[in-house]
Amino acid sequence: MPLIATPQTMHFPDALPLQSGAVIRDYQLAFETYGRLDAVRSNAVLVCHALNASHHVAGVYAGQDRSEGWWDNMIGPGKPVDTERFFVICVNNLGSCFGSTGPMHRHPDTGAVYGADFPVVTVEDWVDAQARLLDRLGIGQLAAVLGGSLGGMQALSWTLQYPERVRHAVVVASAPNLTAENIAFNEVARRAIVTDPDFHGGHFYRHGVIPKRGLRIARMIGHITYLSDDVMNEKFGRQLRAGLALKYSTQDVEFQIESYLRYQGDKFSDYFDANTYLLITRALDYFDPARAHDGSLARALARASARFLLVSFSTDWRFAPRRSREIVRALLDNCRSVSYAEIDAPHGHDAFLLDDARYMGVMRSYFDGIAKELP
C-alpha cells in the first residue's frame, strides 16, 4: 500500500521582507505533509528541496502509480525517515515553478505577470517563508530539518536563523557556500538562458515563447556537474550511439553521452521555468553565512544550537567532501554535537538521491536516534 501524497497550498497575505530589501505579499506556498503530527507537536521533520525539485518529496499521487516523490527512497513508512514516526513537511520554495508563487504568477498590485521582476530570493528568505508556514501549522520546534545540496544550505540556515526551533539538522552533499567554479557553472547556465532570443529580458510569457535553447544548455551543464567522471565513463564511456560506425559529423549525435545529455536538456526545457532557474542558481551563489562574519564560518555557526549530521560523497566534485568538512570543523570549533559520514560512492553529487546501503544505513540510524528522543 503506497503512501498517498496530497498537495496543499497556503496563502500568505502579509508582506514577507526579503534580504534584498524588497517584500513579497499575497503569495502562496505549495507543500505536502506525510504522517501525523503527534499530540505535543514534537515529531515534525522539515525537508528542504534543491534546485529542480518540488514539495512532492515522497509517496505517489492517487491513481498515478509512477509519480513517486523525488526522495521517496528516503522518506515514507518504514524508510530511513519513517513517516510512521515523523510528521514530514516539504514546502515548494518561493520563486519555484511547481505551485508556490513564482515568476509566472501575477503581481498582486499590478496584475502583471512577474517575469524578470520577481524579487530575488535567498536561502534565508526561503527559510523565513518556511517558518511562517510552520507557524500556521502550529509547529514551534522541528525534530529535524533535512536537506541535500541547496536543501542542505537551507537546513544549515535554519539552525542560524531559528536556532531554538531546530533540534537536529541533517545536511547532505552540501557546502557552506559556492566556490568560484560552482558560481562559474551557474553563470554560464544563466548566460545561456538570458542570451536566448526567446528570453525577452525575462518577459517571454507575454511573447508566448519559452527560451528552450538556453534551458537545454543550462540543464546539460548541470547534468555534467551532478555526475562523477567515473560514473560517466562507466555508464557511457566512448560508446557510439547504437554501436554504429562513425558518421563524421559535427552536428549529429555520435556518442551515447551526447544523446543522453540532449535528452535530459529537452526534457528539462519542457517543464522548468527559465526565470526560476535564474532565481534558484542565484540563491545558491548568494548563500554564504560566513560573509557577515568576515569570512569566519566558525563565528557564523556559533548561533547554531542544533545537533548535526553531515553527509558527503567521495566522488561529488560539485559539493566535495572537503566542503562538508569545513562545516564539521566550524561546528566542532563551537563544541557543537556533530556526526559526519563521508560515503565512498561512485555517483558524484547525484549520490544523495540514490540508494546506497551505507548512506541509507547512516540516515536510518540517525533518524532512529531522533525518534527515540520523542515523548
Question: Which parts are annotated binding residues for substrate?
Answer: 219, 350
- Out of 54, 96, 100, 149, which one is annotated catalytic? 149
Verify binding: residue 262, its own copies, rule CB under 8 A. Answer: yes
How many residues touch its own copies under the rule CB under 8 A: the total is: 61
Verify binding: residue 185, its own copies, rule CB under 8 A. Answer: yes
Closer Cβ to its own copies, 167 or 190, answer by number: 190
Report, in Å, the least distance between residue 239 CB and its own copies.
8
Task: With beta carbons less than 8 A apart as the criterion, state whether 297 and 290 touch.
Answer: yes
Cell numbers linked to 69: 516523490
Cell numbers linked to 197: 532570443
- Out of 82, 196, 349, 356, which one is annotated catalytic? 349
Among this protein's residues, is 333 annotated catalytic?
no
Stretch that binds its own copies, among 160-168, 231-239, 336-344, 350-358 (CB under 8 A): 231-239
Tell me the C-alpha distance between 33 and 329, whole Å.
34
Closer Cβ to its own copies, 235 or 267, answer by number: 235
Other C-beta atoms lying within 10 Å of the C-beta of residue 66: 6
Among this protein's residues, is 14 annotated catalytic?
no
Task: With beta carbons less than 8 A apart as the criterion, state whether 106 and 113 touch.
Answer: yes
DSSP 244: P
Report, in Å, the least distance between residue 351 CB and its own copies.
16
Verify binding: residue 365, its own copies, rule CB under 8 A. Answer: no
- Interface mask toward its own copies for 268-297; x: CB under 8 A: -------x--xx-xx--xx-x--x------
Tell me the C-alpha distance between 332 and 328, whole Å.
6
Between residue 98 and residue 137, which ones bind its own copies under the rule CB under 8 A?
Answer: 116, 119-120
Q: What is the 3-state secondary structure (H, E, C) of 140-174?
A: CCECEEEEECHHHHHHHHHHHHCHHHECEEEEECC
**CA distance readout (Å), 218 to 75, 97, 189, 213:** 29, 16, 4, 9
Closer Cβ to its own copies, 45 or 220, answer by number: 220
* Residue ranges with strand state E in the chain: 4-5, 8-12, 16-17, 23-24, 27-34, 44-48, 60-61, 75-76, 81-82, 87-91, 144-148, 168-172, 307-313, 338-343
Closer Cβ to its own copies, 18 or 57, answer by number: 18
Stretch that binds its own copies, among 143-151, 222-230, 326-334, 359-367 (CB under 8 A): 222-230
Closer Cβ to its own copies, 35 or 119, answer by number: 119
Sequence-ordered list of residues with C-beta below 8 angstroms from that of 140, at least 6 positions apart, any chain: 41, 134, 165
- Applying CB under 8 A, the residues found at the interface with its own copies are 19-22, 116, 119-120, 177-181, 183-185, 187-188, 190-192, 194-197, 202, 213, 216-217, 220-221, 223-224, 227, 229, 232-233, 235-238, 246, 248-251, 254-255, 257-258, 261-262, 265, 275, 278-279, 281-282, 285-286, 288, 291
Catalytic residues: 149, 316, 349
